[in-house]
Amino acid sequence: MQTRRFETADEAKLLQASAAVIQDLGFSIDETAVPAGLIVASKDRDATEAGQVAGAIMMAVLFGARMPIDTKQKIRVSLVTRPSSSQNTAVRVTFQRIVWNDQNQLSKIEGLSDPAMYQQFFDKLSQSVFLTANEIQK
Amino acid sequence: MMKKYAIVPLMALVFCLAGCQTDSRTQVLDTSKSQVQLRAYQTRAYETTDRDKMLRTIIGTLQDLAFVVDKADATLGTVSATKLNGYALRITVTIRPRGTTQILVRANAQYNITPVEDPTPYQQFFEALSKAMFLEGQQVDA
């Protein structure tokens, strides 16, 4: 689920295309190690969910109880490339997130394991590899 | 009497359900604009092949704009920096060669917990960078 193989032996190019996708998705790059084929990036986003807010409002109205709601999250991604054969390079990506509530407490720390999410990421990466390859031909 | 009070949370509920996300995990891959569109205004091409000078100028420009550099990698060609001024503005700038005579500079930023997807701040950044490089950055069709 987290790994795809690309038909290229050029690990550096693939890493560059990956960095571009990570930027496309609004992440900021935290850490890189090109010899190890590693990129670590993160982004801070809104974590408010309608259902949770609705629940909190109902609790407040019915019982006068104050339920904390999630407000912000840090989404982290690490991406690693490694040669898988003489013509192929494997890319492995992992997403995780840290969520804080409105009282500034940690409310969730979790790895993200939705296959559709990873599929979508690799679709974008394929597109990026293609865009990058096209630019080189120009 | 009861009806009168019930309307308040209901209104709040309706407003929220209309405006809020239902699953915050969708933020992982979320962008309001397309990949190609975003790249177009976050990217400029410069007529130089001097990577080191480009990176140094980017770092210098970021410092001029009151950013503090978090990390820089010359091999991959990335610089990440943060500006704190009552808000946290985080920016990542990457460079890569384009053809044999140009370098592509790509920037993306987040303002507190929102992505910066308005073209203006990027234009301003590239203007400052162009001045520092004594080069005119050209808009590229991604």
pLDDT, tens digit, 9 for 90 and up, residues B48-102: 999 999 999 999 999 999 999 999 999 999 999 999 999 999 999 999 998 899 9
**How much of chain A exceeds pLDDT 70, in percent?**
94
Chain B residues within an 8 Å CB radius of A43: 110, 115
Residue contact A29–B13, C-beta within 8 A: no
Confidence at residue B29, expressed as pLDDT on a 0 to 100 scale: 86
Residue contact B113–A25, C-beta within 8 A: no
DSSP 8-state secondary structure symbol assigned to residue B17 = H
Confidence at residue A92, expressed as pLDDT on a 0 to 100 scale: 94
Question: Would an 8 Å CB–CB cutoff place B84 in contact with chain A?
Answer: no
Give ∠ CA B133-B138-B142 in degrees, rounded to 5: 130
Name the residue among A137, A40, A132 with its Cα closest to residue A94: A40
CATH class of the domain whose range is A3-137: alpha beta
Question: Would an 8 Å CB–CB cutoff place A26 in contact with chain B?
Answer: yes
DSSP 8-state secondary structure symbol assigned to residue B137 = P
Q: Which residues of B61-89 are buried (b: 16+ CB within 10 A; e: fewer)?
A: bbeeeebeebebbeebbbbbbbbeeeeeb
Q: Which of A126-130, B14-18, B131-135 is predicted least confidently? A: B14-18
Where are the domains positioned within chain A? 3-137
Three-state SS for A10?
A: coil
For B78, the closest chain A residue by CA position comes to A29
| Residue B114 tokens, joined | 């929102």
DSSP 8-state secondary structure symbol assigned to residue B29 = G
A118 falls in which pLDDT band (50, 70, 90)?
Answer: very high
The type of residue at B123 is Q
Residue A132 has pLDDT above 70, yes or no: no
Using CB atoms, pick whichever of B16, B25, B71 lies closest to residue A54. B16
Q: Which residues of B4-32 are buried (b: 16+ CB within 10 A; e: fewer)?
A: eeeeeeeeebeebeeebbeebbebbbbee
Mutation for testing the B interface, residue in A25, A112, A136 having most B CBs under 10 Å: A25
Domains of chain B: 45-133 (3.30.310.80)
Between A132 and A14, the higher pLDDT residue? A14
Residue contact A127–B9, C-beta within 8 A: no
Distance CA(B65)–CA(B54), nearest Å, equals 16
Distance CA(A34)–CA(A38), nearest Å, equals 6
Mutation for testing the B interface, residue in A2, A63, A118, A135 having most B CBs under 10 Å: A135
Distance CA(B26)–CA(B116), nearest Å, equals 18
Confidence at residue B28, expressed as pLDDT on a 0 to 100 scale: 87
Residue contact B29–A25, C-beta within 8 A: yes
Question: Would an 8 Å CB–CB cutoff place A102 in contact with chain B?
Answer: no
Following DSSP, what letter does each residue of A35-87 receive, concatenated? GGTEEEEEEEEE---HHHHHHHHHHHHHH------EEEEEEEEEEEEEE-SSS
Question: Would an 8 Å CB–CB cutoff place B51 in contact with chain A?
Answer: no
A136 falls in which pLDDT band (50, 70, 90)?
Answer: very low
Residue contact A50–B27, C-beta within 8 A: no
Chain A residues within an 8 Å CB radius of B71: 29-32
Using CB atoms, pick whichever of B24, B108, B114 lies closest to residue A73. B24
Length of chain A: 138
Residue B134 has pLDDT above 90, yes or no: no
**Average pLDDT of the residues of chain A:** 89
Residue A76 has pLDDT above 50, yes or no: yes
C-alpha atoms less than 13 angstroms from C-alpha of A59 in its C-beta half-sphere: 11
Q: What is the pLDDT of residues A22-64, one digit of tens each?
A: 998 999 999 999 999 999 999 999 999 999 999 999 999 999 8
Distance CA(A75)–CA(B66), nearest Å, equals 25
Distance CA(B9)–CA(A102), nearest Å, equals 19
